Amino acid sequence: MTRSSPLLLQAFYGISSPWAYFGAERSKAVADAAGAELVLRPIRIIEANGGIPLRNRPDSRQQYHAVELDRWRRFLNIPLNLKPKFYPCRTIEPAAQAVIAAQRAGLDAFAFSFAIQRGLWAEDRDIADLDTLREFARATIGEGGAELVRDPQPQDIRDEWLGNLAEAERRGIFGTPTYVVGDELFWGQDRLDFVERALAAASLRETA
């Protein structure tokens, strides 16, 4: 039998999250290998479900956060500055909403999103700056993509941005990245092995 519905991997993530940056390329590879569509759902911190900005956490947690980032950047061999010049970001909304706009336009939103993440964490770029975002867009999705970088965005883009957060709250998501296969939640880039298995199982069910 053929698949009755598209196989989806939804990624709820903060575009400024270092953990989402670490998991980005592998999540795309996992989705591609499974024949699944990777749906990007940028969100902000989910305070309703217990999310706490890093700068508001106790010093001991902030210090351990840096230790873990260093471990993972070396383990994954992914470039990351432990103290990026423009983090915490002044705002993430223009970047996140531009990714939403690119995805709605059928452009390569993943490439654009990853350029933003890499820019923040490995290149000391200011992802709150519209001209910087347009530069990333031109390099990944072309001039038409650069024209989608706006502040404010059209209402439908803002509505999707807010809708992503509402959906994350409804599903019980509390941290990012959280990957969703069907109704299963997988919190953290270190859960991608389980995401891979869940996609394989879902594919078998769909084609049985």
User: Catalytic positions, please?
Assistant: 17
Token pair, residue 87, equals 């983090």
CB neighbours of residue 148 within 10 Å:
25
Cα-to-chain-centroid distance, residue 123:
18
Q: E-assigned strands of the chain?
A: 8-13, 37-42, 178-181, 184-187
- Dihedral (CA of 23, 26, 30, 36) sign: positive
Per DSSP, the three-state class of 149 is coil
Please answer whether residues 37 and 203 qualify as being in contact, where contact means their C-beta atoms are separated by less than 8 angstroms. Answer: no
Give the span between the Cα atoms of 205 and 208, in whole angstroms. Answer: 5
Write the DSSP symbol of residue 190: G
Give the span between the Cα atoms of 98 and 57, in whole angstroms. Answer: 29
Residue partners of 173: CB distance under 8 A and separation at least 6: 12, 43, 46, 49, 185, 187
Give the span between the Cα atoms of 90 and 100, in whole angstroms. Answer: 19
Give the span between the Cα atoms of 110 and 94, in whole angstroms. Answer: 16
